[in-house]
Amino acid sequence: MTEVRRLRVRYGDDVTDLEVLLPPHATIEVLADILGAADSSLSINGRVLPAWHSLDQSGVFDGVVLDIDRPNSLQSDDHPVVVVDQLAGLPGGDSRLLPQGTFGFSASPEAENAFSLEVSDTGRITVLPGVSPVVIDNVRITGRTALTDRILNAGASRYTIGQLPPSGIPIDPSTTRQRTRSAIGSTVRSVTPPVLPRLEPEGFPMAWLGTIPVVLLLVVVGFVASPAFFAVAAVILAATTAALLVRRMSRQKEVRDHHERTKRLVETFEKVVVAARRSVEQELRLANPSIPELARAARGEVAGYWNRSRGDRDFANVVVGYGEVDWEVQVDSEFELTTALQQIVDDNSLLTSVPIVADLTMGPVGIVGPRDFALPCARAIAVTLATQSSASDLRISLAADENQLGQWDWLKWLPQLN
């Protein structure tokens, strides 16, 4: 049995009421909290779907939303995690996918917490999250606006989510360690750049090599004028030429040695920066286990079962995919880096194949798209939460339409189910 609930959608400066179909035990306050804010759940940009203005058309929001209460309510014994499935009644929605066009989600009425997305027909997923992490299928960011620049400047990660976390992420067994409850992964690494040797400028005696033809001409003239002067001049010329040639060869060796020392120092610095980047990637993977790793923990094969409690920094942090994250090593130097060293830093400014973590204590996670995509992702997040935190720290409740309850029957085996 379901009931119709009313919710408010902010459309630019306009506020529109819409109807949402929910089971009787799911209150509108819970739903409003899940979608972001009590008075503004969904913000739609102006030039997109006029149908969103109207309540005459009805559609289906075919997705799954998971949310956890804000940190100040975590002490409550009520269900802090709510799974809402098959929210019906969003006007203008498609029964399977969000309609193509440009729209935006807002975690609160403030504009800086919103971000714009464009739905494409490519099926590719690319999301720039704001304050509230959101996972969306079949959307793509296009263009650069002041809003996306603000998100980028705030350090938001870019990532692609199209499947469950892979099991093939390489983890060196020799570095596997017991994960502490507060280990969420540190991305800070500091390196000290080398002081590259300076090559002293060439001394003026080397310029004397250019005077040899002139001296040779004087010797010839001296030979014509006086054979005795020629003999003395010839000896002086030979000695000077030999000394200059020896100096030239010595200088060439100095240049070669300088280049070799510089090359070794640059290569060593590159190895240090690469090692720092890889250690960050490794730590993030260790601190944020994938679904296959969590399954092993649940079976007791490895540590990591129920190791996150309320108050821990990584409580209710779930891996929603793997992707690329902007990163920059900290350089401990008061001097500006040389071009070669700066290039190494720039070439290692991206973490690859690292877990993308959504913090449910900071806002909701919505999975929108085809049901065969959204449902497994929602299961993965629910299983992650149930594996990481015990029933004394986390409770799970389900709000679903009657025809969807069968697909969530497995939840009854979780001790966290309310």
pLDDT tens for each residue of 34-88: 333 222 233 222 222 222 222 222 222 233 333 333 332 223 333 344 444 433 2
Of 46-60, 178-192, 289-303, minimum mean pLDDT range: 46-60
User: Per-residue pLDDT averaged across 382-406, rounded?
Assistant: 78
CB 59 within 8 A of CB 94: yes
Q: Which of 384, 217, 222 has the alpha carbon at shortest distance from 295? A: 384
User: Per-residue pLDDT averaged across 202-214, rounded?
Assistant: 56
Position 312 scores a pLDDT of 84
More confident residue, 120 or 189: 189
User: Per-residue pLDDT averaged across 220-249, rounded?
Assistant: 66
**pLDDT range class, residue 384, cuts 50, 70, 90:** confident
Position 215 scores a pLDDT of 61
Radius of gyration, alpha carbons of the chain: 34
**pLDDT range class, residue 292, cuts 50, 70, 90:** confident
Position 318 scores a pLDDT of 80
Name the strands in the sheet holding 114-119, side by side, starting at the edge strand that comes first in the sequence.
101-106, 114-119, 139-140
**Which residue bears the tokens 């990637």?**
281
